[in-house]
Amino acid sequence: MQVPVRAAFTAVTAAALAATVSCSSGPPAPSISPSGATSTVEPTASASAASSPAPASLQPFDAATLRAEFERTAKELLVPGAVVLLQSPGGSLTASYGTGSRGTDRPVSVEDHIRVGSVTKTWTTTVVLQLVQEGKLALADPVSKFRPDVPNGNAITLEQMLTMRSGLFNYTETLELNTAMDQDPQRVWQPEELLALAFARPPYFAPGQGFHYSNTNTVLLGLIAEKIEGKPLATLFKERIFEPLGLKGTVFPEVSSNAMPDPHPQGYFYGDNVLTMTTPALPEDMQKEATAGTLAPHDVTDVNPSWAWAAGSGISTAADLKILGEALVDGRLLKPELQQKRLESVTPTKPDDPRGASYGLGIAKFGMLYGHTGELPGFNTFMGNDPVNSVTLVVWTNLAPAADGRDPATTIARALIGKLYGPAL
């Protein structure tokens, strides 16, 4: 029996980024379509400044209310299991919900390993930025300097790839990949095969003239980092990120491996890739069946994640994600000047909506929290840190996406943020 999976992982694309609430009491940011909506005008400096919401005040910490909201939202989304790790000046909450394996009473745990999807992008982009500060690369370098086969390569800079403004076609939006993932979920994909899918399509727009979340950018950046250092990307992650931060449960698997370290939950997914290629929501009749419990999600734990590679095949734990999320913001991985540039690089993906989704040098911003989301079939992750209020939030679920197309972990994070913060001052 073929196991369906969802190749069009969103991470910070689409609803995962945009649906996370601004930490004010205002309306949520508008949704970006899963295929990656583009803007035709590059964000300006004034738009960047406007994207930062007004300071939000933390409410008195109420662990019982937060736990109840976590459990309510997880149940609403039909997730088998979920974990939250929240730390704030007023208190902390570590909680789990449900089971790691449907039909059993095996509870999920904060010690569990999960596939973190596009959180992996923060590893790849951090390594590239470290090479920039070491003088081995420059943000203004054209990608053609390293890869002469890239469409528009003479005009695309590394900075534009880091900020998703290169215009390069996203290979996970191809019917070829989605069909292949449905038919052969154990296939081992090489990075060059992924790039070939992307390069066969015309770019979305001229370099720097819009925003489109494209996994092609991060695969290219991973290959460039390997070329410059003469080491596998897994080694670069270990030497430059995992070991310095003491991340004991974080792994970047070989492309041939679909294994996960123990302990780990099973990951679940409704439908198949082609069905959910345009929109992650199931057809209405299937949503009703899922809600009624007559449609079960597929177990996709063992699907080979090599199709995501530098853009999304990483594995980690809630505790490690907390450390990583804080390090991406507090400067433990970059020198002060480049760290500041990274945080200031976050700009609206739609210049005419400065309070909507924002993205920068391999990092996103969700209201007051900097971080990243990640999704691939069976797992969804939210990781964010608010340096102003000293808040860190990590959420993961072992279902992705939900039957109605929502990203479960980011939806839970949104609900918790709404309880944690008060109205904008």
Q: Model pTM?
A: 0.89
Domain count, the chain: 1
Does residue 5 form part of some domain? Answer: no
Residue 117 belongs to some domain of the structure: yes
Structural domain of 340: 14-424
pLDDT of 55: 55
Residue 164's domain is classified under what CATH number? 3.40.710.10
pLDDT of the residue at 356: 76
Q: What is the pLDDT of residue 32?
A: 27
Count the Cβ atoms, other than its own, within 10 Å of residue 75: 12
Residue 7: inside a domain, yes or no? no
Look at residue 9 and tell me if it is in a domain: no
What letter represents residue 228's amino acid? I
Please report whether residue 283 resides in a domain. yes
Residue 423's pLDDT is 62
Looking at the domain assignment, is residue 135 inside a domain?
yes
Contact 213, 304 (CB under 8 A): no
Residue 3 lies in a domain: no
Mean pLDDT for each 10-residue chunk of the chain (425 residues)?
A: 36 41 29 30 34 67 97 98 97 98 95 98 98 98 98 98 98 96 96 98 97 98 98 98 98 97 97 89 96 96 97 98 98 97 95 84 95 96 97 98 97 96 63
Q: What is the pLDDT of residues 16-42, one digit of tens each?
A: 444 443 332 222 222 222 233 333 233
Q: Compute the distance between CA of residue 239 and CA of residue 245 in angstroms, rounded to an integer.
A: 10
Cα dist from 324 to 120, 207, 265, 314, 412, whole Å:
11, 30, 21, 13, 20
Please indicate, yes or no, if residue 6 is contained in any of the structural domains.
Answer: no
Give strand ranges (E) for 61-179: 81-88, 91-98, 114-117
